[in-house]
Amino acid sequence: MPIENVSELVSILENAGELKRVKSQVDSDLEIAEILRRVMYANGPAVLFENVRGFDMPVLGNAFGSVKRLQLALEMEDFTQIGQRIADMTKMEIPSGFLNKIRKLPELSKMGEVFPKLENSGPVTEIVETSPSFNKIPILKTWHKDAGRFITLGLVATKHPETGVRNLGVYRIQILDDTHAMMHWQKHKRGAQHGEISKDRGEKIPAAIIIGAEPATVFSAIAPVPEGLDKYVFAGITRQKGIKIVKCKTQDLEVPANAEIVMEGYVDSSDIRDEGPFGDHTGYYTPVEPYPTFTLTGIMRRQKPIYLTTIVGKPILEDAYVGKVIERSFLPLIRMFHPEVVDFAMPAAGWFQGMA
């Protein structure tokens, strides 16, 4: 059975000797990030910080910082299976004629199994905060010259304002105060495109920042999937089982029912402020640049959530391993359109990102 939540992931990693617990008190301001960097550079395990100063919420880092941990999280040895499943589905022909359709039902039913299932409630709806604040969450400051605290592994959910197609993206988010943050989505990102369409319509774009979910959902948010493919469907294809989703309380969005925390709000693309600097995956600080503002309108969370995060900096860190999974998983799709391609690589020295 596929992994359903972060707690299950913790148990699986711990049983495999791939996770260590830190019971000593640590600080979310620089200290956790420094510990994680040292562990990552030493090819160490995932780390669960159980005692974070000022918070009653543990912090999990480096959960995906090795090929083995990603194999455990996604429950597969060969990551090309992900792309091959999509390729196989696109080749499936819908037959004409009643009897032919009947014969095809087993294959067609398998396609339906990967679609998301809307639920009335879920673990993430256990607590609904009516006075939401970013300051209740152990969001890290990771580098000395960073402008402040940044969410680095938040899955940002939006919908295309015209088509309604759902998207997930991972964009860094700088916290400004209790209820405001900066959404660092670059112009070519789909979230930013959704925001611009909403701006042209005189609207703000509903958005939800999701912390922790099924590992396949985290991966789907990072992966550069084809335009128009619902990221929740991609997560279902990855894990061969549809995820459960629930409605947000203050915005017209659906989010994973098994998430740890969901921060609901909206992005106002006409409210532009300075964001950064931030110590980035290049090993350098990105400069101050203008980005739109996110306003927090509500929080849903588990009773005992785990704050899942990541640290970026000079390679090789956790994100390089995720980049390797993306590289392998998309090889079958690239070969489907370009059969002459035998293989390709996105090495850590070349940024290993979607811009490769």
With 90 as the cut, is the pLDDT of residue 99 above it? Answer: no
Distance, in Å, from the CA atom of 215 to the CA atom of 4, rounded to the nearest integer, reads 8
How do residues 124-136 score in pLDDT, each as one tens digit?
Answer: 999 999 899 999 9
pLDDT above 50 for 106: no
Of 58, 271, 256, the closest CA to residue 179 belongs to: 271
* CA dihedral for 323, 326, 331, 333, sign (positive or negative): negative
**CA 25 – CA 64 distance, rounded (Å):** 23
* Residue in 292, 324, 76 with CA at minimum distance from that of residue 205: 292
Lowest mean pLDDT among 9-18, 53-62, 235-244, 343-352: 343-352
What is the rounded average pLDDT for all residues in the chain?
91
**23-27, 291-295, 335-339: the lowest-pLDDT one:** 335-339
Structure token pair of residue 134: 């970013």
Q: What is the pLDDT of residues 30-82, one digit of tens each?
A: 999 999 999 999 999 999 999 999 999 999 999 999 999 999 999 999 999 88
DSSP-derived 3-state class of residue 208: strand
* Gap between the Cα atoms of 58 and 40, Å rounded: 19
pLDDT band for position 191 (50/70/90)?
confident
Q: Verify whether residue 280 is a known catalytic residue.
A: yes
Written as one string, the DSSP assignment of 74-99 is: HT-S-THHHHHHHHHHHH----SSHH
Among residues 52, 62, 57, which one has the least CA distance to residue 9? 62
CATH 1.20.150.20 fits 6-350, yes or no: no
Catalytic, out of 27, 29, 271, 280: 280
Give 5's contacts (C-beta < 8 A, 6+ positions apart): 123, 212, 213, 214, 258, 260
Assess whether pLDDT exceeds 90 at residue 92. Answer: no
List the one residue out of 146, 140, 139, 141 whose CA is nearest residue 279.
146
Rounded mean pLDDT of 253-270?
97
pLDDT of residue 345: 87
Q: Which amino acid is at 23?
A: K
Sign of the alpha-carbon dihedral angle for 60, 62, 68, 72 = positive
Res. 83 pLDDT band, cuts 50 70 90: confident
pLDDT digits (tens, 9 = 90+) for 312-350: 999 899 999 999 998 998 898 888 889 999 998 888 777
pLDDT band at 224 (very low <50, low <70, confident <90, very high): confident
**With 60 as the cut, is the pLDDT of residue 85 above it?**
yes
Cα angle 283-289-291, degrees, rounded to a multiple of 5: 115
Instruction: Provide the residue ranges of all domains of the chain, joining segments of one domain with +.
Output: 6-350
d(CA 73, CA 63): 9
Phi, then psi, of 237 in degrees rounded to 5: -65, -40
Residue 123 DSSP code: G
